[in-house]
Structure 1
């Protein structure tokens, strides 16, 4: 006849059957459960391995295996000639249970952790109308990418499965520096380039390594919220600087005393207003950084996609003092899942930035880097950019026409010279919350313009993404939004 201990043990073993674990492991787990729920107490005697094996109808070696592991972990004590007993340590597991009706005390975030959590983090967009900053992955030359991937995979073999230089694959850094020098006017060599997972990671590295808690970084207002999240991690604070139709008001920054440690700008295509920082202000910003020994973070997130006129040269190429961090991403120029971006940094700062990078995520996967390097070396990358520029320009024009036709009575559209989104200002700001809520019910996302301001009193309106939508999809979404607004105004 089975003992109460064995009967309970059998029930616990049956409870684990679906996991298909070896019986010896299941016996260990079952005894631990009995210790944890208080069924076994300190100095309770367990059946001998021979007796338990017989009652369970298993080999004695199986029970010996379980007992040996439990003894090694300190749950039981085996005394030759006396038997097997629950140790005091094993019995203490029962005290870890919360008392009935008692409240468990949760762990507490640090003050920095709370600040990071309050920042909201950075959430990637989804490809529906009108989410901003999203390319059209449906138009990506997937077959060509597959061919390149197959060719590179065969060439690399098992070398693609190893760790990579945390600064990035040398071939890719060479291609990036060559491309940036030719098309963006960036002054760099492969030694200046760090290949990362995302531009957000670049911001995290810069703010962590260049700013101390309490330092200030000047940022555009309104502006990209990801820089504020990065500042929350470093413990630094954002100093908002107004933006007009020519970008950041650099003269407002120059008048600040003491000068902030640095400035973050999106000069080629300001997010979200789409303004381009004028040459006069670019030069003034460079002079300010040099005079105050401050640095500039130039986020060139989508400058390749400029539809009216040639792409604007970057600030980094104008700077001769080595005060500019230049960053870009392949998430926008290629596709989001590629998870590759780059940071061009002053040469003497690359080693400490790479050291910090090893603490964040180590390195980027070799295979994607190698495929992209090949894609760039064969000229397919620049050909893809040209195709997408033409496609997105046509989509922008179709979007603008649809907005002019159906939404003109309700707001004014700021037509972008490039990029993936346009800013639309509502005439009746009191409708913003209701319009967003009702539009979402119709499958339309309306990123708020007001939420991108640091200071209160931001302009009511939305940042409307158009690049990922065909002209037909864009037109249909505009019409749905028009109907939403009309219905709200009726009531």
Structure 2
């Protein structure tokens, strides 16, 4: 027995084939418990998957699935050419430290207080920052040009709606959403995205995060498997992992999600989460062949596809691509959209378009989640769309973002040659900057952050170790002069 295997054997891991719980789930639970209890300390190297499989007398896939889930949830990390390690900062240590600090500052005794393992893991992993900057910095991804929002126009619409509000809008609203807004969204999606949808299929949500959470709860049970893009959107990954879903990372290449790889790795998953129009964070578009293959697989296996269409309005060459949902003839696609990227993040309004067979179930779940979205906000947005302001705002922002991206590309050409390679993008609100080989993007990001600039490392979006390191730069919400200044700070940090 090797030393690494003996370390795991010392934990007394026993897999019981008589239990209904899958073996990979038993191994996952045993390792996670060992990490949380401190028996597996941060920095401990785990044995290779093949070696551990032999030790436990299980298939290698059982060990791989357990490791992948622990990596996805932040308990393990893979290091290229070096193996798999327990993360250096143990979840229970960070959790205890944070609780002690809060306890000391508030003077509130914490004895007997407890939260769930999921809650503890969220504290340890810092999924989202607890403190948000009042003014977003360059180059924080996902932030539109807040400074160019038509505030005066929105204020007039707000005053009009509040001056003579319909009485029914002042009471509890429809969890399905405000009917005129659902009509406006359905008409917009048919015209701009080539979708097959009626207002009855549109459900108004409190942004994309609620849509992700609701979809996971309606369609998946703990332990179910799903495909998730690798690299991919962290907000989605943490929602699904937090609900006990087994994540199957599927590689993204120049044609989008590799459907063949997904089928090869795990063909019988219940759900596939994709960003086909503008993959996050790489920015590629899923090819037609891959789209058709994904739909054929979903139809054949009875799986669902969740299409996250977070910023496809901003396509700078030609018209926006037709949505994957528009190609679906068998009702397997759930479509998700948001107004956070096209209007304001603070608006907190998004929507789902679900197949007719799922509408009643989703509406019931929506009513339980938080009853309904603010009725007056829905009414104001309806007026904004129906009077043509929404379409005009998108046109103005497209021109603005093309200009801001051009400023970034030119500044990078002048200041970042040999340090960071940034290619133009024909869509979206961010670009990826590629670092030279063997550069640590997490370390680079930390150095840049010390200069007052945010550039999340690309490796943070990966589950499997990335083949190439890079940085994600959101340029849409940054003024041209601030872009140039931020690029100078990046050059100083990377030099």
Q: 1:432: Cα distance to partner?
A: 3.2
Q: 1:116: Cα distance to partner?
A: 5.1
**Which whole-Å CA distance do the structure 2 matches of 1:458 and 1:361 have between them?**
42
Q: Does 1:246 align with 2:255?
A: yes
**Which whole-Å CA distance do the structure 2 matches of 1:327 and 1:297 have between them?**
7
Q: Describe the SS at the equivalent of 1:195.
A: strand
Partner of 1:339: 348
Q: 1:384: Cα distance to partner?
A: 0.7
Q: 1:196: Cα distance to partner?
A: 0.6
Q: Does 1:300 align with 2:312?
A: no
**Which whole-Å CA distance do the structure 2 matches of 1:452 and 1:383 have between them?**
33
User: Higher mean Cα deviation, 177-186 or 412-421?
Assistant: 412-421
Residues 347 and 483 from structure 1, CA distance in 2 versus in 1: closer, same or farther, beyond 3 angstroms? Answer: same
Residues 293 and 433 from structure 1, CA distance in 2 versus in 1: closer, same or farther, beyond 3 angstroms? Answer: closer
Q: 1:263: Cα distance to partner?
A: 0.4
Q: 1:402: Cα distance to partner?
A: 1.1
Q: Describe the SS at the equivalent of 1:134.
A: coil
**Which whole-Å CA distance do the structure 2 matches of 1:272 and 1:104 have between them?**
40
Task: Decide which of 106, 111, 115 is 2:112's aligned counterpart.
Answer: 106
Q: Does 1:398 align with 2:407?
A: yes
**Which whole-Å CA distance do the structure 2 matches of 1:221 and 1:312 have between them?**
22
Partner of 2:192: 183
Q: Does 1:372 align with 2:378?
A: no
8 A Cα contact 2:441 2:459, kept in partner: no
**Which whole-Å CA distance do the structure 1 matches of 2:284 and 2:110 have between them?**
52
What is the aligned residue count?
Answer: 384
Partner of 1:223: 232
8 A Cα contact 2:241 2:247, kept in partner: no
8 A Cα contact 1:250 1:284, kept in partner: yes
**Which whole-Å CA distance do the structure 2 matches of 1:119 and 1:352 have between them?**
32
**Which whole-Å CA distance do the structure 2 matches of 1:217 and 1:231 have between them?**
9
8 A Cα contact 1:415 1:423, kept in partner: no
User: Higher mean Cα deviation, 150-159 or 348-357?
Assistant: 150-159
8 A Cα contact 1:294 1:323, kept in partner: yes
Residues 416 and 340 from structure 1, CA distance in 2 versus in 1: closer, same or farther, beyond 3 angstroms? Answer: same
Q: 1:478: Cα distance to partner?
A: 0.5
Extract unaligned runs of 5+ from structure 2.
1-108
Q: 1:286: Cα distance to partner?
A: 0.5
8 A Cα contact 1:416 1:422, kept in partner: yes
Task: Decide which of 271, 283, 287 is 2:292's aligned counterpart.
Answer: 283
Cα offsets for 1:88-147 (capped at 9, x unmatched): xxxxxxxxxxxxxxx963333334444555564445786211110110111011111111
Q: Does 1:315 align with 2:324?
A: yes
Partner of 1:383: 392
Partner of 1:356: 365
Partner of 2:203: 194
Q: 1:157: Cα distance to partner?
A: 5.5
Partner of 1:482: 491
Cα offsets for 1:215-241 (capped at 9, x unmatched): 111011000011112113321121100
**Which whole-Å CA distance do the structure 2 matches of 1:476 and 1:330 have between them?**
29
Residues 387 and 314 from structure 1, CA distance in 2 versus in 1: closer, same or farther, beyond 3 angstroms? Answer: same
Q: 1:280: Cα distance to partner?
A: 0.8
Task: Decide which of 262, 279, 282 is 1:273's aligned counterpart.
Answer: 282
8 A Cα contact 1:217 1:236, kept in partner: yes
8 A Cα contact 1:184 1:313, kept in partner: yes
Residues 480 and 257 from structure 1, CA distance in 2 versus in 1: closer, same or farther, beyond 3 angstroms? Answer: closer
CA RMSD of aligned residues (A): 1.9
Partner of 1:446: 455
Cα offsets for 1:391-420 (capped at 9, x unmatched): 111111111111122112112224222111
Q: Describe the SS at the equivalent of 2:173.
A: coil
Q: Describe the SS at the equivalent of 1:349.
A: helix
Task: Decide which of 421, 427, 436 is 1:418's aligned counterpart.
Answer: 427
**Which whole-Å CA distance do the structure 1 matches of 2:304 and 2:245 have between them?**
15
Q: Does 1:171 align with 2:180?
A: yes
User: Higher mean Cα deviation, 348-357 or 139-148?
Assistant: 348-357
Cα offsets for 1:298-342 (capped at 9, x unmatched): 000000001123211110000000000100100111111111000
Residues 119 and 168 from structure 1, CA distance in 2 versus in 1: closer, same or farther, beyond 3 angstroms? Answer: farther
Residues 122 and 188 from structure 1, CA distance in 2 versus in 1: closer, same or farther, beyond 3 angstroms? Answer: farther
Partner of 1:5: none
Q: TM-score, normalised by structure 1?
A: 0.75
Extract unaligned runs of 5+ from structure 1.
1-102, 487-491
Q: Does 1:437 align with 2:443?
A: no
User: Higher mean Cα deviation, 383-392 or 251-260?
Assistant: 251-260
Partner of 1:49: none
**Which whole-Å CA distance do the structure 2 matches of 1:309 and 1:431 have between them?**
37
Q: 1:351: Cα distance to partner?
A: 1.6
**Which whole-Å CA distance do the structure 2 matches of 1:217 and 1:319 have between them?**
19
**Which whole-Å CA distance do the structure 1 matches of 2:212 and 2:122 have between them?**
14
8 A Cα contact 1:439 1:446, kept in partner: yes
